[in-house]
Each structure stands twice: as C-alpha cells, then as structure tokens.
Amino acid sequence: MVRLVENKHSSESKVTQRLPLPLKVYIPLIQHLGKICNPEVKAGDQVSLGQKIASVQAHVAAPIHASISGEVVAIQDWPHPVLGRAKAIVIQGDRRKDEGGFVLRDPQEVNSLTAEDIRKIVLEAGIVGMGGASFPTHIKLSPAKPIDTLIINGAECEPYLTADGRLMVEQTGQIAAGVALIAKCLGVKNIYIGIESNKPEAIKAFFEITGIKVKVLPSDYPQGGEKQLIKNILGKEIPRGKLPFDIGVLVQNVATVYAIYEAVYKNKPLIERIVTVTGSCLENPQNLLVPIGTPIKDLIEFCGPLKDEPAKIIIGGPMMGIAQFTDEVPIIKSSSGLLLMGKSEAKMYDEDPCIRCAACVRGCPVGLMPCQINLASERMLWNLTKEYGASDCIECGICNYVCPSNRRLLQTIKRAKLEVTK
C-alpha cells in the first residue's frame, strides 16, 4: 500500500450536475465481463429512453438500454474505452427530456418483492459492477454459497476520482435503500461500508444510517481493491484462487448499489452514471451525470474552456485507468472518471536498469516481488514468473509508480499472467 497525492480537491466539493442531453450517443454492445449482446433494434428504429436495445441469451452478460430517446442511425464499429474498438448502437437524440418516463414502483410493492424478483429486476436493468470490473451484478446476487457479510465499497482510492464520494454524500438514503435490497437478496445481517478517511462528509452521512457499520479506512492505495478491502475490514484473506463468496463475503461498489436502488424503486435501467471530469487541463473540473454512450468530447466541451491541450486522456483513475486514443470514445457503465493530462504529465521516460531498491517489493499490496517477475518476464521465463506468483497480481500499478528506474513492471507482469494462464 502506498500514500498517493490525491488531487481530489478540485472536484470533491462540486455537486453532481446533469450533462445536457447529447446529440448522439454510441452505446457499445459489450460493457460487461462476458458475452457480447446482440442488437434488438436496427438502423431507422425509434427508441425511447430506457428501452432495451441489446441483450444475449447467456448467464454472464447484461442487457443494454437506450440512454436517450431518438432514432437508431447505425450499428457500427466504434472506439471502446476498454476494448479499443467494438460494435456500438448509434442513437441520434431527439432531445426529448422524458425523465418522467419511468414509473416509480410503489414502496409497498418494493417491500413485497422477493429475492428472486430483485435479482430479475437487476438483471433486466443491465446492472454491472461500476467500480471498474463490470461483472454482471445479478450473478453476484445469486451466489453458490451462503453469504454472511456484505461490504459496500466506498473507498474510492484512485487519485482524482470523486464520483463515488459525491454519490455517497448526495444519495445517502438511496444507497442505504439499495443496500437493504441486496441484504434481502442474500439474507445477510452483517453490513459494512468502507470509506477512506479523506471523505469525512460521506463518513458522517453513513454514521447516521442504522444497520450499516462504517469502517473508516486509511487513504492508502489500493484500499478499494476487493482483496485489500476485505482484509482491512474483516481481517480475513481470500485464499488464493478463490472468490469473496468462498469466505462468505460479497463486495459491491456504491455506484452499483445506487443503480440497484434506481432499478428497483424507479424502474430505471442502468443508462447513466456519474463521471468525474478532471485533470490539470481543465479550468473547471466537475462531477457529471452522463448518459451511457456519450462521447467524452461532449464532457470535455461542457467542462471547458481548456487551460491546456490534453496530451493524454484517461478513462478511469490515473493508477488503473486506460489511456484513450480519441475523444470520440464513449462513456460506458464502468467509466468512473475522465482525466485530462497535460504534456508534462504525459511525458514518457526511458527505462533504467533495475537497481534492486525493493521499493516495488515493499509497495506490493499482495506481497509479490515485482522486480523479479519483471526480469523473469523479460527473459520469457514463464515458469519462473509463475513461481514468483505473477498470477496473484491485482494490477494496481504501485510497482510502476514507485520504481526509480521507470521500469514497466506492470506491463511485463500482465504479459506473464497471460502466459501463465495459457
């Protein structure tokens, strides 16, 4: 674990604003871990807000919905923030603000919903893990083993990002209602929310909620990593090769919990999310509520004027986010931040030889020796990388961050992971 310069101050107190309806959205057919969806609409079709436009008959998948109303103009290859390129449904908006189009579910009815009903609603709403992994949520809500502890992840340990922090402050009650729904699904009594100490407002807000134990965590990266969160809250480790449910634990990100709330109480599928738009190039960093599929150039324009020409655009945080090659790329369900870096921040440095300073060894949150895996990987000694535990890497990026020789440790470890699992 390391202490990072957080850079959250420029957006952490900015109340979430709704981005004006975009003219066009590009909704990728794959925004989850699993099978790609098949479009259910074709060019020329009119779609309404929240209409299901793509789905697939598969267990590990999540359907996709129209995030604005308008006309489907194309289904085409388009830049994708995670995959590089993927098929996307392009909707030309009619700029109708039919937010009222969702029929609120009567609270009485919500109370009478069974666990199975809730799972079905979550599946139909296309909810996936919004912290980055994009794993379909309905699967996590039907675990193969009994769950005794639910952990809500409000750590938001990545520098710059404040979307989850804002959500926890602005929608505390709604998140609590979402938590109750998950608890009902799983039959758990033991509920924690883990929040880093750098978010006192959110901590205070959740102290008021009964039934959820607030765990204040040190603001160390990667506090919000699932493995670290479980260890630091419960003092338990997930055995190697196992998943949290193997030890009776389920972790959900706060944004995902809010999406569940909206799906159940408002009949609203996952069609928008909060994105922190930030970075040194921006005069005016913001937390924006953005329809899924909105190209990032719309967000940049809204937050303008630019102080500086962006030299690097990252979707996600600076530690684990993905650098984009174009500003045409859309926001998807897992995009928590949009970070615009200037020229000096985007500068690439040459690699120097490893001097065995062991900064990466001390920093690695899972106890690996990244420098050794790096050297083995560069020599393509895959068995040795396996022996060093390459496959246990959680790809947090600390090793690269601390390396005085600028070595690309993470890249070579990722390569080793691929080779080891072949």
Partner 1 sequence: MINNLTVSGSPHIHKPVSVSRIMWTVVFSLIPAGIAGVVIFGLDALWVTLVAVAAAVLTELTFGILTKKKITILDGSAVITGILLAFNLPPQVPLWLPIVGAVFSIAIGKQVFGGLGQNIFNPALVGRVFLMASWPKYMTTFNRPFSFDAVTSATPLAILKEGKVLEHISYLDLFLGKHGGCIGEVCILALLIGAALLLIKGYISWHIPATYIFTTAIFTYIFGGAQIFSGDWLFHILSGGLVLGAFFMATDYVATPLTAKGQLIFGVGCGLLTAVIRIWGGYPEGVSYAILMMNAATPFIDRYTKNRIYGVR
Residues 335-394 that bind partner 1 (CB under 8 A): 339, 341, 345-346, 348-349, 352-359, 361-362, 364-369, 371-372, 388-389, 392
C-alpha 233/C-alpha 193 separation (Å) is 9
CA nearest neighbour of 289 among 304, 306, 272, 269: 272
Q: How far is the CB of 372 from partner 1 (least distance, A)?
A: 7
Q: How far is the CB of 41 from partner 1 (least distance, A)?
A: 28
For partner 1, the closer of residues 153 and 280 by Cβ is 280
Number of residues that bind partner 1 (CB under 8 A): 72
- Considering only 324, 334, 335, 374, the residue that binds partner 1 (CB under 8 A) is 324
CA nearest neighbour of 366 among 196, 222, 153: 222
Looking at residue 14, the DSSP 8-state letter turns out to be S
- Considering only 323, 380, 383, 418, the residue that binds partner 1 (CB under 8 A) is 323
C-alpha 113/C-alpha 109 separation (Å) is 6
The neighbour count for residue 240, using CB atoms within 10 Å, is: 9
For partner 1, the closer of residues 201 and 392 by Cβ is 392
For partner 1, the closer of residues 204 and 236 by Cβ is 236
For partner 1, the closer of residues 102 and 245 by Cβ is 245
- Considering only 271, 282, 299, 314, the residue that binds partner 1 (CB under 8 A) is 314
- Considering only 320, 331, 373, 416, the residue that binds partner 1 (CB under 8 A) is 320
Alpha helices (H) along 149-285: 163-170, 172-186, 200-207, 226-234, 254-266
Site for partner 1 in 285-304 (CB under 8 A): 297, 300
For partner 1, the closer of residues 184 and 414 by Cβ is 414
Is residue 118 within a helix (H) or strand (E), and if so which, with residue range?
Answer: helix 115-124
For partner 1, the closer of residues 144 and 348 by Cβ is 348
- Do 71 and 45 form a contact (C-beta atoms < 8 A)? yes
Site for partner 1 in 225-254 (CB under 8 A): 227, 231, 237-242
How many secondary structure helices (H) and strands (E) does the chain include? Answer: 15, 17
Looking up tokens 């912290």 gives 131
- Do 53 and 34 form a contact (C-beta atoms < 8 A)? no
Interaction of residue 418 with partner 1, rule CB under 8 A: no
CA nearest neighbour of 88 among 99, 80, 96: 80
For partner 1, the closer of residues 178 and 389 by Cβ is 389
C-alpha 417/C-alpha 422 separation (Å) is 9
Q: How far is the CB of 167 from partner 1 (least distance, A)?
A: 23
Interaction of residue 86 with partner 1, rule CB under 8 A: no
